[in-house]
Amino acid sequence: MSNCIKYKEFEKSVRVEEIDGMKVVKNLSKKMEEMFRMKAEAMRRLVEAAEEAHLQHEENPELQYEYFNAVLINEVDEEGNNVELGGEFILEPNEHFNNLSVNLSLSVVQVPTNMYNKDPAIVNGVYWSEALNKVFVDNYEKDPSLIWQYFGSAKGFFRQYPGVKWHPDEHGVIAFDCRNRKWYIQAATSPKDVVILVDVSGSMKGLRLTIARQTVSSILDTLGDDDFFNIIAHFREHLDKLFAKGIGLLGDALTEAFSILNEFNQTGHGSVCSQAIMLVTDGATQMYDDVFAKFNWPDRKVRIFPYLIGRESAFADNMKWMACANKGYFSQISTLADVQENVMRYLHVMSRPKVIDHEHDTVWTEAYVDSTVSKGPSLMTTVAMPVFSTKNETVSGILLGVVGTDIPLQELMKIIPKHLLGIHGYAFAITNNGYILTHPDLRPLYQEGQKRRKPNYNSVDLSEVEWEDKDDFLRNAMVNRKTGTFSMEVKKTVDKGKRLLKMHNDYYYTEVKGTPFSVGVALSRGHGKYFFRGNVSVEAGKMCFLSDNVLVVCFLSEDELVVCFLSEDESVVCDRELIQEVLFDAVVTAPLEAYWTGLALNKSENSDKGVEIAYLGTRTGLSRTNLFVVPEHLSNQDFLTAEDKEGVFNADHFPLWYKRAAEQVPGTFVYSIPFGAVGIQMKLDFFQRKFWTASRQVITCTQLCVCVCRDVNMYLTWKYVVFPAQSSRGKTMMVPCDTEYPAFVSERTIKETTGSIDCDGCVRSFVIQQIPSSNLFMVVTGVFLISTISILNTSAHNESLKCDRLKFQKDRKRPESCHPFHPEENAMECGGVPGLSAPLTAALLPLLATVITR
């Protein structure tokens, strides 16, 4: 350690540098761009392989093929034999996949519960898509950071790599259908404006009304962040309140729907791309050709999708004609079980122009919580690309499916330079719609460790967390993919909302090229924007890590440190700047070991010191600890261990004790419970004994003050405020609202204050005084108080703010790619064409001829 002790020789090279926020955010953007680019390239390889495999495959309705079904693998019958479509499938635990047991050589196929495993269409699709297995493996070898890769077929099956076993829910059902997922829908279609017309006339009652509600709900489930919708005249949360009354005025409703869509186009408030009207009714007495002629012909830019509810087919011809005359698709829904499949058909119709254009647009989803096969919920985004048929006979356009891969947002956190951002600094990213992709204040679950998600957790707008920006300057600049800076006064909480801080933040933001995302960095003024720099050789730094009784951990793992220490190969990926700073901190803090050793020797002479552990942390994430007792005698044996999530440095945060020390006035100490203080951990009973000893020395009683002394109570209090959970009859209320909590902030300029509290028949006086060089207060009261911790029992709710925000549409950046229609599209594939009656066919053909000749 002699080389380490000579740290003064490095003092001349020490300098204080201001963090360049713009440089930090641009570097972060490049790293994110590279990460996303690698994922997109992997998907492009899958698309090419899938389209080639389908091109070489000839459809065979008699094909028999055994494949690995995700639910049936390794299942046996009563005699111990493998069940059909099961078979022996080798699975091994893999840390990279959340310690799930997976097969890195093969994929598995999941088929929705409501579909037949051996349907010829599914068997043929599974057969030709086996060619993706090799590409899955190659992709994983080229980019080991990849997790799940998959192909969602338009036929309904889902091929997933690596192979993993799926388990039904408690009802024995797997409700997953890949075609319902946002990544599939966004990749398959272009952005769209949708108006849903719901018939609530007298005939729509009972089961029909129930089916209608479910149909509308399923349509809404297919809409993404780039889509816009309206329902005439009910919003989704009012669907359950629909009741049968009144007379259906379909002509007026269609006119209103066209007017709404036209206004969307004129004002640019919609998607400025595809448009559709969904008609949910049990019949139409007319064809309403006069309405279509006025608003939609001859261009037919608005597609009509009629859904006939019920088994009656008296009005089917009229509704079929509407679909065929307006490039839509007709469906009849007789039971609740028919809803899902029939609703999904409209997506494939709207995907036709994109298929014919053969545009493999790369799409990125918003952040969402996924727990389909992982152990516990995980926040992630997905990159996806459509797969098309390239066979000559498919001029009308056939969507084969969508390939995709998940990117856990935790992976993004790993590339954020936390040591540069400082204690209260953070990075965040948003989508083109202003929704948060990642932000420290995005909390999608009600409680950590539970799977229950908050309503609309994946559409939290940046303005809802950076709420001090009343004019949405920061949000709008990022949505419009600009590069710039912004600053404002903010209020932030730490320690799970218990402590409030007032700070001035500087924001730096830029776009992430190749994606719809923008990334930002927030740096707090003061210590958050400055950094110590020092030049230390690797040899000198390594010497300072060699200690048996000093634990060193940092944002880098020990393996990374060793590799980066020893490697001179430039291909080894290391944050060499962070390595240099860790080495410098190791050298500068090394003398503490000798100091702690001296304290330990002194403690052996007088063991009643109460101190159990000493520790130190630096901004680079380096920690040093020293035990003054054997580990078994520690009051808190989890402190500064892997189990102490809040007490150690990691990629997500600085330790709480580090944050609290930084908030404190320089030269003062922080005392806290339950785990001691910054610098040392001591037994609480030792601290209490010292406190009461000092108290007795101050309070001296005579005959004149015996009564007073007997009623005097002294308290040592911590600055601590508890925010209560909102509850109703013992249950947590899950009501979307904005909750305003009062908070107490210590005013350090007030050294002492007195006052009194009126009570029943008496007055309680008190004195509060700051204890110098600490965060503690001495409270002396005239009578006993139940608690020294302030608990706020009420909080103000304002449920109108959320609704007020929804009344005003915020800026959104529309996707650059748009495929609303194509002249080669076969509009006669519209559902029930073979069943059209002769008179209706005669009425339709002249219309189509007129359109085609234009």
3-state secondary structure 247-303: CCCHHHHHHHHHHHHHHHHHHCCCCCCEEEEEEEECCCCCCCHHHHHHHCCCCCCEE
Q: What is the mean pLDDT of residues 140-161?
A: 93
More confident residue, 540 or 837: 540
Q: How far apart are CA 33 and CA 689, in angstroms?
A: 58
Q: What pLDDT, on the 0 to 100 scale, is given for residue 722?
A: 31
Domain formed by 410-527, architecture:
2-Layer Sandwich (3.30)
3-state secondary structure (DSSP) of residue 417: coil
Q: What pLDDT, on the 0 to 100 scale, is given for residue 684?
A: 60
Q: What pLDDT, on the 0 to 100 scale, is given for residue 404?
A: 95
Q: How far apart are CA 551 and CA 624, in angstroms?
A: 5
Q: What is the mean pLDDT of residues 321-331?
A: 93
Q: How far apart are CA 433 and CA 811, in angstroms?
A: 7
pLDDT band, very low/low/confident/very high, at 236 (cuts 50, 70, 90): very low
Q: What pLDDT, on the 0 to 100 scale, is given for residue 92?
A: 92
Please choose, from the candidates 105, 147, 107, the residue with its C-alpha nearest in 3D space to the C-alpha of residue 129: 107
Give the angle 464-465-469 at the CA atoms, nearest 5°: 80
Element holding 123 (H helix, E strand): helix 120-128
Half-sphere exposure of residue 534: CA atoms within 13 angstroms, side-chain side: 23
Please choose, from the candidates 373, 441, 514, the residue with its C-alpha nearest in 3D space to the C-alpha of residue 816: 514
Q: Is the pLDDT of residue 151 over 90?
A: yes
pLDDT band, very low/low/confident/very high, at 84 (cuts 50, 70, 90): confident
- What are the residue boundaries of the structural domains of the chain, listed by start? 23-186+359-408, 190-346+823-852, 410-527, 536-682, 696-722+743-791
3-state secondary structure (DSSP) of residue 583: helix
Q: How far apart are CA 542 and CA 536, in angstroms?
A: 10
User: How far is the CA of 247 from the CAs of 288, 304, 572, in angstroms?
Assistant: 17, 22, 73
More confident residue, 665 or 241: 665
Are 237 and 196 within 8 A, CB to CB?
Answer: no
Q: Is the pLDDT of residue 560 over 60?
A: no
Q: What pLDDT, on the 0 to 100 scale, is given for residue 467?
A: 84
479-493, 611-625, 785-799 — which one is most confidently predicted on average?
479-493
Domain formed by 190-346+823-852, architecture:
3-Layer(aba) Sandwich (3.40)
The mean pLDDT of the chain is 76
More confident residue, 562 or 124: 124
Strand 228-232 versus strand 192-198 pairing type: parallel
Q: Which of 59-63, 126-130, 665-669 is least confident?
A: 665-669
Q: Which of 53-62, 361-370, 820-829 is least confident?
A: 820-829
pLDDT, one tens digit per residue, over 572-581 is 456 667 777 7
Q: How far apart are CA 778 and CA 721, in angstroms?
A: 17
Q: What pLDDT, on the 0 to 100 scale, is given for residue 612?
A: 77
Q: What pLDDT, on the 0 to 100 scale, is given for residue 579?
A: 74
Please choose, from the candidates 482, 470, 481, 385, the residue with its C-alpha nearest in 3D space to the C-alpha of residue 431: 481
Q: What is the mean pLDDT of residues 39-66?
A: 93
More confident residue, 234 or 483: 483
Tokens encoding 225: 């962040």
Sign, Cα dihedral of 364, 365, 369, 370: negative
Q: What pLDDT, on the 0 to 100 scale, is given for residue 644?
A: 65
pLDDT band, very low/low/confident/very high, at 481 (cuts 50, 70, 90): very high
Domain at 23-186+359-408, CATH homologous superfamily: PAS domain (3.30.450.20)
Q: Is the pLDDT of residue 402 over 50?
A: yes
More confident residue, 315 or 482: 482
Q: Is the pLDDT of residue 239 over 50?
A: no
Phi and psi, residue 193, nearest 5°: -105, 130
Q: What is the mean pLDDT of residues 36-65?
A: 93
Q: What is the mean pLDDT of residues 789-795?
A: 37
Q: What is the mean pLDDT of residues 55-70?
A: 90
More confident residue, 313 or 445: 313
Q: Which of 115-129, 302-316, 683-697 is least confident?
A: 683-697
Q: Which of 316-325, 542-551, 627-636, 775-784 is least confident?
A: 542-551
Q: How far apart are CA 586 and CA 4, in angstroms?
A: 8
Q: What is the mean pLDDT of residues 478-493?
A: 91
More confident residue, 466 or 500: 466
Element holding 438 (H helix, E strand): strand 436-438
pLDDT band, very low/low/confident/very high, at 128 (cuts 50, 70, 90): very high
3-state secondary structure (DSSP) of residue 211: helix
pLDDT band, very low/low/confident/very high, at 681 (cuts 50, 70, 90): low
Q: What pLDDT, on the 0 to 100 scale, is given for residue 131?
A: 95
Q: What pLDDT, on the 0 to 100 scale, is given for residue 653?
A: 66
Q: Is the pLDDT of residue 707 over 50?
A: no
Residues 640/644/647/652 CA torsion (nearest 10 deg): 130
Please choose, from the candidates 794, 807, 799, the residue with its C-alpha nearest in 3D space to the C-alpha of residue 736: 799
Q: What is the mean pLDDT of residues 271-284?
A: 90
Q: Is the pLDDT of residue 398 over 60?
A: yes
Q: What is the mean pLDDT of residues 92-112?
A: 90
Q: Is the pLDDT of residue 444 over 80?
A: no
pLDDT band, very low/low/confident/very high, at 370 (cuts 50, 70, 90): confident
- 190-346+823-852 with 410-527: one CATH topology? no
pLDDT, one tens digit per residue, over 170-185 is 777 787 888 888 899 8
Please choose, from the candidates 718, 734, 853, the residue with its C-alpha nearest in 3D space to the C-alpha of residue 799: 734
